[in-house]
Each structure stands twice: as C-alpha cells, then as structure tokens.
Chains A and B, each alone.
Chain A
Amino acid sequence: MLDTYREVVTPEGVALHLPAAGPVPRAMAWVIDLVIRGAVLALLGIVLGLLGAAGQGLYLVLMFLVIWAYPIVFEAMWNGQTPGKKAMSLRVVATDGAPVGWLPAITRNLLRTVDMLPFAYATGLVASLADGYGRRLGDMVAGTLVVHATQEHDHASAPINRVLAPPMALRPGEQAALVAFGERAPLLTPSRQAELADLVEPLTQARGESGVLRLFGMANWLLGRR
C-alpha cells in the first residue's frame, strides 16, 4: 500500500487512522532538536564558564541531561513532542494510539544508540524504510510510532443550496467521491473544478461550469440537504 495511514485499534474498538511519518521529516525534526540542544549547551558553556571548575562540573551534568534526558522528558511530558517534532508537527504515540508513557519514551531514546550505528542513523534509516509504520529499531522495541500531528482541514460545504437527485443509483465509493468533490472543490480554481467535473460527463450530462453546479447539487442531495 502506498498510503502511510496506519489503522490503530483503540481499547474502545474503533480504528484511529494515524499518518505514520517517514524518515525525512523525522530527520529534519532531529536536526532542529540538535541545533536547539547545541545552542543551549553553548549558552550554558558561556555562563558556567565564568564559574570555574565547579561551573565546568555543572556544565558536564547538564550536558548529560541535554544529551540523554531532553528527548525523554519532552516526549513523555509534552504530548510526545520535542521542540523539533513540534516544529515539524510530528508526534510520538504508542502503537495503540495512546500518548507515549515514560518507559517507552526511555526505551526508544536509549536505543537511539543502536539506530545511529554505524554512522548517521544508517540502521534507523534502513529499519524505517523497511517497516510499514516507518519505525526505527528503537520505536519497534519501545512499541511506539511517530505520526504526523493531525491538522483539521477546513472543508467548506458545497457553495450552493441547489439540490439535485443523481439520475442513476451510485455505489458507495462513487457517492463518497461526489461528496468529497462538493466539500473540496471550493479550494480549487474554477478551471480545475470544471476539468474534474468533465470527467463525469455521463452522470451530469453537462460540461464546464454547469457540470460543476450539477455535481454540487448531487453532493448536497447525498448529504441529505433538502
């Protein structure tokens, strides 16, 4: 299947459709995090450098935290998002769609060590390309999944009030396509609307703008507007 949507069945028995994220946005999120961490460390280095040896000790402790705890704490406490993941609107979730807990967050971030081998996340890249859910090894062991944080699309309803019954019985897939056209066409240019409507000329018996209007009418009828 080309689509990266994965069905995850929640405890309530309903399938959540989660769009699994591929290696590229994840790598970009990682780079953003790397820059942030580097900046934090550089800043800490300047400030703590003024404090002498004790400052250097504190710097090393904080460096440990920034390296190991940063992704764990963010993922467990901040909706499964590090700042980099937030910027790329990615989210870590458990494979049952629930928010990621402390233990999975720890596991997946400790096992980065292995995914980084032998260089530049090569193992993780191969694993995420081979896996249907785009998971790296750490994700598999932790039972987690990185998904695109869902955005609500603004679907406008069909822009006219006219209602038109389709001249023939339509199968469910065809009905869904008509409704989707009614909702999404307002986001397209008029010429593209017409181009799409022309594809179903046998249904509308019209071309161009009048075909578009008839499709809107049928979409309204299918939605139950009267």
Chain B
Amino acid sequence: MRQEQFIARHQAEWQAFEHWLQTRGELRKALAERNSGQIGDEDIPARYRRLCQQLAIARRRGYSSVVTARLQVLMQRGHNLLYRTPPPRWRRAVEFLLADFPRLVRSEAGCMSAAAVLFVLPLALMFTLLQWFPELVYGVMDPAQVAQLENMYDPAADHHKLGRDSGGDWQMFGFYVMNNISIGLRTFASGLLAGIGTVLVLVFNGISIGTVFGHLQQVGQGDPLWRFVAGHAPFELTGIVIAGGAGLRLGLNLVAPGRQRRIDALVAGGVKGAKICMGVAFMLLVAAFIEAFWSSIPSIPAWIKYSVSALLWSLVLAWLWRGGRDRAEAADAA
C-alpha cells in the first residue's frame, strides 16, 4: 500500500484519537465531566494499541517521516497518558509509613546493622576516650567551638533554652529541617561512591557526636545535654542510621551486584533507597519538631523527659520491628 492510501485510510482514526487527547486525555479536570465526544474513554487503550501497530507497519514499509513522525508523536502522547504518574494518595502514604517502610528497613537488616555499628562504635569510642583523656576534644574541635558548646549547655544559665545559643522555636525548627534532613539524604546519596561516602558520613557523625557528648559529660554539663537530646534522639539517630543502611545497600549493589547486571542492581537499590529516604525524611521531620518544640524546654523535670524518651524509643523500635508484619503474612498467604 502506498503512503497516501495508508494516510487516507487511517486519517480519520488518527484525528479522532488526537481530538480525544486534546479534549479529554490531557486535561485532568476533564475526567470529572461527562464524555460527550466521539470516542468513549474505555476505547482508548484499544485505539492506542492499533496506533502502535500502524506505526510499526509504517516504519516497516519505510513511509516518510510525515507519517511516522506524526504517528510517533500521537503514540508518545498516548503512552504518556496510559502510563502517567498516579496522583499521590494520602491513604497510601499512611500505609507506606506504617507498614511498608518498616518492612523495607527489616528487609535490609544486614546493611542497617552495619550502618548502626559504623555510627555507634566511633560514638561510643570517642565518648569513652574523652572520659580518660579530656584534652582529646581539641583534636576534633577548635577552642571557640568548645566554648560555644559549653555555653549552650551551661546548667547555671537559666535564661535561654536548652541546646541553642539563641533563636526562637520556629527558627530552630526551620534550621533543623534544613540541616538534619539534608544530612540524612546526603548520607544515602553518597552511598553511590561504592558505599565509601556513606561510611565516611556515618563515622564522622559518630565521632563528632561522641566528642560533644563525651566532652560535656566530662566537664559536668551532662544533665542539660541529656535532657535536651533524650526526646528527639529516637527519631534522629535511627533516621540517620537507616539512611546510612540504604546508602550501604546502594554501594554494595554497585560493588557486588550478585546475579543481576550491575545497572539493574543499581536501579533496584536506587528505588529501594528512594522509598527508604521518604521514610527517613519523615522521621527526621518528626525529630526536628520534637527538637525544636519539646527538647529545648528547660523547665520540664528530667524524669518526664526521660520517660517520654523511653516511650518514644520503644515506639520507634516497635514500629520498625513489628510494623507491617501482619500485612506481610497476609501477602504471603494470598
């Protein structure tokens, strides 16, 4: 069949499809209205497949780009429509946080444990070392930073809030969101450097936190410090460790892809990492909220702070340990 005959035969069909795309398909609001057009919405997949077939025929027969380019544009528009991103749903987001995220974390238990060790070990080591060799603090921080730190947690000064020099609650909330979530996301992303980036971030964060805690404990300012960090630690520390675990998984998929092609292993790790990062961002957001509005209140007695902290720790751990477990069993049974 010659090109012109081919066009003449199918022209009306293409125009109808294009008209549908313009009037209904590509306008999200049109879906709520009644379809008064020539083609019903339910016919579109079949028409789209016909179009694909016509494009394949046109290519095979060597028709010119007048036909193939036009069909390809139509097909691409149809493709974009049929495979478009579904709008986000709140219910799905809640399900993700309650069930899918803990399951994802558990499915990477090895990487998560490794990340936890990489973070906690330097932290504990620095903390312990500083109790015996207090001068080591100057190897990690310069004297001005140390002085500022001591000022922030000065138990004698009641005029300002815990854990900060100055600044209101909202200001600090903004700062924690910006700073902490960025750190969490970078912890994951730097895993692409064969995991080395993540390892470095975890170890350095462990060292610096261990130094701060160790020094303040050693100079006798432990009380305001512990009262400050107790509230948000369950979300913040676990969040960073989980981001690190996802980063290690990504790096591991690059180094040792196993029985997959390297690129496929990376894509799998990337998708998993993106999901985990959504959960981590949520955890760090909660942490920022607690840190800004609860942890910093100096008047709350220590025993309340520690009880709340214990409660939050058990909540977070129970969430990560049990969350979505019954759903997994239901999915296995089905």
| Interfacial residues, chain A to chain B (CB-CB below 8 A) | 10-17, 52-54, 56-61, 63-64, 67-68, 76-77, 79, 97-104, 106-107, 110-114, 117, 137, 140-143, 150, 152-153, 155, 157, 172, 175-176, 179-180, 183, 222-225
Instruction: Let me know if B168 is at the binding interface, CB within 8 A.
Output: yes
Q: Give chain A's interface secondary structure class.
A: helix
Which of A16, A104, A113 is in CB contact (< 8 Å) with B186? A113
Give chain B's interface residues, CB within 8 Å of chain A. Answer: 1-6, 48-49, 52-53, 55-56, 59, 62, 64-66, 69-70, 72-73, 75-76, 79-80, 83-85, 88, 167-175, 177-178, 181-182, 185-186, 188-190, 192-193, 197, 250, 263, 266-267, 269-271, 273-275, 277-278
- CB nearest neighbor in A for B197: A114
B80 touching A64 by the CB < 8 A rule? no
Q: Which of B72, B79, B167, B181 has the most CB of A within 10 A?
A: B79
21 contacts between A and B (CB under 8 A): A10-B52, A14-B56, A52-B168, A53-B170, A54-B170, A57-B169, A57-B170, A59-B174, A60-B174, A60-B175, A60-B177, A61-B173, A64-B174, A64-B181, A98-B80, A101-B85, A111-B192, A140-B266, A141-B250, A141-B267, A155-B69
Taking the closest CB of chain A, its distance from the CB of B60, in whole angstroms, is: 10
Contact indicator A12/B84 (Cβ below 8 Å): no
Taking a contact as CB atoms closer than 8 A, the residue among A59, A77, A153, A223 that contacts B85 in the complex is A77
Neighbouring A residues of B85 by C-beta, 8 Å: 76-77, 99-102
Across the interface, which residues of A come within 8 angstroms of B83, CB to CB?
11, 98-99
CB distance from B2 to the nearest CB of A (A): 2
CA distance A106 to B3 in the complex (A): 44
Q: Which residue of B lies closest to A63 (CB)?
A: B178
Residue picked from B65, B84, B88, B189, most chain A C-beta under 10 Å: B189
Q: Which 10 A-B pairs have the closest CB atoms?
A: A224-B2, A60-B174, A57-B170, A57-B174, A141-B270, A53-B168, A98-B83, A113-B189, A224-B4, A54-B170
Known: A10-B79, A150-B72. A155 touches B65 (CB 8 A): yes
Count, A-B residue pairs, CB within 8 A: 165
A157 to B70: give the CA distance in the assembly, Å: 14
Set of chain A residues within 8 Å of B66, measured between Cβ atoms: 155, 157, 183
B62 & A183 in contact (Cβ 8 Å cutoff): no
Contacts of B2 in A (CB 8 A): 222-224
A110, B65: Cβ atoms closer than 8 Å: no
A110 and B185 contacting across the interface, CB-CB below 8 Å? yes
Q: Which residues of B contact A179 (CB under 8 A)?
A: 3, 64
A60-B174, A60-B175 known; A104+B271 contact, CB < 8 A: yes
* Given A57-B170, A57-B173: A64 touches B182 (CB 8 Å cut-off): yes
Chain B positions within 8 Å of A12 at CB level: 48-49, 52
Q: Closest approach, in angstroms, between the C-beta of B178 and any C-beta of chain A?
A: 4
Select from chain A the residue with minimum beta-carbon distance to B253. A141
Check B178–A61 contact: CB distance below 8 A: yes
Is the Cβ of B171 less than 8 Å from the Cβ of A60? yes
Residues of B within 8 Å of A57, CB to CB, are 168-175
Instruction: Establish whether residues A114 and B65, one from each chain, have CB atoms under 8 Å apart when the complex forms.
Output: no
**Besides the contacts A106-B278, A179-B64, what 7 more A-B pairs have beta carbons closer than 8 Å?**
A77-B85, A113-B185, A141-B270, A143-B271, A176-B62, A224-B3, A225-B4
B76 touches A107 (CB 8 A): no
Distance to closest chain B CB from A144 (angstroms)? 10
In the assembly, what is the distance between CA of A150 and CA of B169, in Å? 49
Closest B residue by C-beta to A15: B59
Decide: A14 and B75 in contact? CB cutoff 8 A.
yes
- Asked, given contacts A102-B88, A224-B4, whether A111 binds B189 with beta carbons under 8 Å apart, the answer is yes
A58 & B174 in contact (Cβ 8 Å cutoff) = yes
| Whole-angstrom distance between the Cβ of B185 and the nearest chain A Cβ | 6
CA distance A12 to B72 in the complex (A): 13
B174 cross-chain contacts in A, Cβ below 8 A: 56-61, 63-64
Give the most central of A14, A99, A101: most B CB within 10 Å: A14
Chain A: CB-nearest residue to B188: A110
A152 to B70, CA, bound (A): 7
Q: Judging by beta carbons under 8 Å apart, are A183 and B72 in contact? A: no
Using A61-B177, A97-B79 as known contacts, say yes or no to A141 and B192 having CB atoms under 8 A apart.
Answer: yes
Chain A's closest residue to B193 (CB) is: A114
Residue pair B62, A172 in contact (C-beta under 8 Å): yes
CA distance A142 to B266 in the complex (A): 8
Query: Nearest CB to that of B170 among chain A residues?
Result: A57
